[in-house]
């Protein structure tokens, strides 16, 4: 393809949108859910297994990959696509969020952040220029600007100075980014939950100009109601013709609510992490597969699901594998959970194209049983 990564908006239904992201490694229908491949692998899944779920795009983490195996090494080995046998598009984060949440001693200044690796205590530094260079070595189709994810809660003054720092770093990220056909750089809107700051951030980013726009600084403990309230005014500030990405979100209900508000792209560790802790996302809601009630249940995790775990195995078997700490348990459950999130976004997309999004969203939510335990904060434990 000629020119940078691009986006075609195909349909709108209320605030919800269906589109296609065009990248160097293929097209991606939106709304899209990207499984998280933290350290060069979607945990417990082969690349073929990830593909079989319908996933078209995955995420890699700059922080993890720069520490191990190292960005330059990944580049020498042919890039992340080749290394992990994932030939579809890859989005990488900037490393900023995980430096703040995972690393040991760290010191931020106007130029960047110096930190200690959580693996061996070694000292490293990330600046906008270095983050962009690392993402170039990784061969990310979508590179994210280096920014500071404003902690929540923040006063308006704290949120303003944090956002303005991120906007200066966004300009430096744009300057450092090396354009290639089918590749793009996304800006990240900050400003916490303050409307005037979100507007100032959106203006600063659109003035610089990016191939896509992320809404940052949400899903950090503010709760779903406050997140939706912030999206209500934040999303319309972003350019209509460009893709919008809500970072680190979320539960099925979060995703449906954000799609309704005009978000196109999502990533979250929920399906993979839950797969390793015995939780299944299903058309009836969340199930704890460790629960004793599954011990004699020969039915599928989700009778409506067509994944390997559901077509070939019973709840009883999955429960046994998880209780016995067999590797196959988390593998099958992760497979199922990712398939569930892919089915969810595919249903939303089909409904948008047919102008029946609200009815579809209501039909999906109506089947959830209210017995599910509350979901832990979606951005915690991004390493696991």
Active-site residue among 141, 264, 267, 302? Answer: 267
Helix boundaries (H) for the chain:
47-52, 62-67, 71-76, 80-84, 96-102, 128-138, 156-176, 195-208, 224-234, 252-260, 270-276, 308-312, 315-323, 328-353, 357-366
Q: Is residue 279 within the footprint of Zn ion (CB under 5 A)?
A: no
Interatomic CA distance for residues 115 and 63, integer angstroms? 11
310 is annotated as contributing to ligand binding: yes
268 is in an annotated binding site: no
Q: Does 286 bind Zn ion (CB under 5 A)?
A: no
Beta-carbon count within 10 A of 299 CB: 11
Regarding beta strands 6-13 and 265-268, do their DSSP bridges make them parallel or antiparallel, or are they unpaired?
Answer: unpaired
Which one of the spans 28-36, 74-82, 84-92, 308-316 is the region binding Zn ion (CB under 5 A)?
A: 308-316
| Residue 332 lies near Zn ion (rule: CB under 5 A) | no
Among 40-48, 228-236, 241-249, 329-337, which window interacts with Zn ion (CB under 5 A)? 329-337
- Distance separating alpha carbons of residues 32 and 82, to the nearest angstrom: 22
Size of the site for Zn ion (CB under 5 A): 5
Q: Does 310 bind Zn ion (CB under 5 A)?
A: yes
- Contact between 305 and Zn ion per CB under 5 A: yes
Please identify, using beta-carbon distances, which residue of 130 and 336 lies nearer to Zn ion: 336
- Shortest spacing between CB 245 and Zn ion, in angstroms: 26
Question: Considering beta carbons, is residue 256 or 309 the nearer one to Zn ion?
Answer: 309
Residue 287 in the binding site for Zn ion (CB under 5 A): no
Active site includes 93? Answer: yes
Q: Which of 13, 93, 139, 302 is catalytic?
A: 93
Shortest Cβ distance from residue 102 to Zn ion (Å)?
31
CA torsion through residues 225, 366, 352, 181, sign: positive
CB contact at 8 A, 40 and 83: yes
**Known catalytic membership, residue 27:** no
| 97 appears as a binding residue in the annotation | yes
Question: In the complex with Zn ion, which residue's Cβ is closer, 49 or 218?
Answer: 49
156 CB neighbour count, 10 Å cutoff: 13
The SS3 call for residue 186 is: strand
170 binds Zn ion (CB under 5 A): no
Q: Is there binding between residue 58 and Zn ion (CB under 5 A)?
A: no
280 interacts with Zn ion by CB under 5 A:
no
Q: How many helices (H) and strands (E) does the chain have?
A: 15, 16
Stretch 334-373 residues interacting with Zn ion (CB under 5 A): 336
Q: What's the 3-state SS for 124-158?
A: EEECHHHHHHHHHHHCCCEEECCCCCCCCCCCHHH
Radius of gyration of the chain (CA): 20
Residues tagged active-site: 93, 267
**Interface residues toward Zn ion, by CB under 5 A:** 305, 307, 309-310, 336
Which residues contribute to the annotated binding site? 93-97, 147, 190, 217, 305, 307, 310, 336
Which residues contribute to the annotated binding site for Zn(2+)? 305, 307, 310, 336
């Amino acid at each position: 393809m000629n020119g940078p990564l691009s986006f075609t908006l195909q349909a709108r239904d209320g605030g919800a949108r269906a589109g296609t992201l065009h990248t160097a490694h293929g097209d991606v229908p939106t709304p899209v859910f990207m499984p998280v491949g933290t350290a060069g692998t979607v945990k417990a899944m082969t690349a073929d297994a990830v593909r079989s779920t319908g996933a078209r795009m995955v995420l890699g983490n700059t922080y993890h990959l720069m520490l191990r195996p190292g960005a330059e090494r990944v580049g020498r080995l042919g890039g992340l696509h080749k290394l992990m046998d994932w030939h579809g598009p890859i989005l990488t984060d900037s490393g900023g969020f995980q430096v703040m949440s995972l690393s040991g001693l760290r010191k931020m200044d106007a130029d960047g952040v110096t930190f200690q690796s959580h693996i061996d205590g070694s000292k490293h530094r990330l600046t906008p220029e270095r983050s962009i260079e690392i993402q170039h070595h990784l061969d990310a189709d979508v590179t994210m600007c280096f920014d500071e994810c404003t902690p929540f809660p923040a006063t308006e003054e704290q949120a303003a100075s944090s956002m303005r720092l991120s906007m200066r770093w966004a300009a430096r990220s744009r300057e450092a980014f090396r354009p290639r056909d089918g590749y793009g750089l996304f800006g990240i809107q900050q400003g916490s939950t303050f409307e005037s700051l979100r507007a100032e951030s959106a203006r600063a980013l659109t003035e610089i100009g990016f191939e896509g726009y992320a809404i940052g600084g949400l899903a950090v403990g503010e709760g779903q109601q406050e997140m939706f309230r912030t999206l209500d005014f934040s999303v319309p500030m972003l350019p209509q013709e460009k893709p919008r990405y809500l970072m680190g979100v979320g539960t099925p209900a979060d995703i449906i609510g954000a799609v309704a508000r005009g978000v196109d792209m999502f990533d979250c560790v929920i399906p993979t992490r839950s797969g390793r802790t015995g939780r299944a996302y299903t058309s009836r809601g969340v199930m704890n597969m460790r629960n004793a009630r599954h011990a004699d249940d020969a039915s599928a995790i989700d009778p409506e699901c067509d994944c390997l775990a559901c077509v070939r195995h019973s709840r009883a078997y999955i429960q046994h594998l998880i209780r016995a700490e067999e590797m196959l348990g988390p593998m099958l459950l992760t497979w199922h959970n990712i398939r569930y999130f892919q089915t969810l976004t595919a249903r939303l997309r089909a409904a948008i194209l047919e102008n029946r999004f609200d009815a579809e969203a209501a039909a999906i939510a109506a089947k959830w049983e209210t017995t599910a335990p509350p979901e832990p904060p979606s951005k915690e434990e991004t390493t696991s």
